[in-house]
């Protein structure tokens, strides 16, 4: 019983550390891209403009969900939403800005 409890605590501690690492990398100010059904989607991670959403967003961020404004050719002005970091590639702001300009200028 003592060994099991020690293993459980070790596992919980490791999970908390991983969650903190993930949160540092997917929080506001990070930029992402992914492909979904042949459509390029780019996003800027941010907090919700609605304070009442923040407990939910923070809980989901621990699970690897990136909340932000996401852009694509189908949604050139962007929309708030979430994508899981496992499907995304982190990109630099300069590359995000370049892609955003291309998306917003495409077939307008």
Q: What is the pLDDT of residues 54-98, one digit of tens each?
A: 999 988 888 889 999 999 999 999 999 999 888 999 999 999 999
Position of tokens 């540092």? Answer: 24
Choose between 26 and 102: higher pLDDT: 102
Report pLDDT for 26: 80
Structural domain harbouring 82: 2-105
CA-closest candidate to residue 70, choices 103, 92, 37: 103
| Average pLDDT in the chain | 86
Per-residue model confidence (pLDDT) at position 64: 85
Looking at the 3D structure of the chain, how many domains does it have? 1
**pLDDT of the residue at 77:** 95
């Amino acid at each position: 019983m003592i060994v099991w409890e020690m293993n459980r605590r070790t596992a919980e501690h490791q999970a908390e550390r991983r969650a903190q690492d993930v949160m540092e990398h997917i929080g506001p100010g990070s930029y992402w891209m992914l492909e979904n059904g042949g459509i390029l989607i780019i996003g800027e991670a941010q907090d919700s403009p609605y304070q009442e959403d923040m407990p939910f967003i923070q809980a989901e961020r621990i699970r690897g969900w990136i909340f932000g404004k996401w852009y694509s050719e189908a949604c050139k002005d962007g929309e708030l939403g979430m994508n899981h970091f496992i499907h995304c590639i982190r990109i630099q702001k300069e590359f995000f800005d370049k892609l955003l300009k291309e998306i917003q200028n495409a077939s307008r």
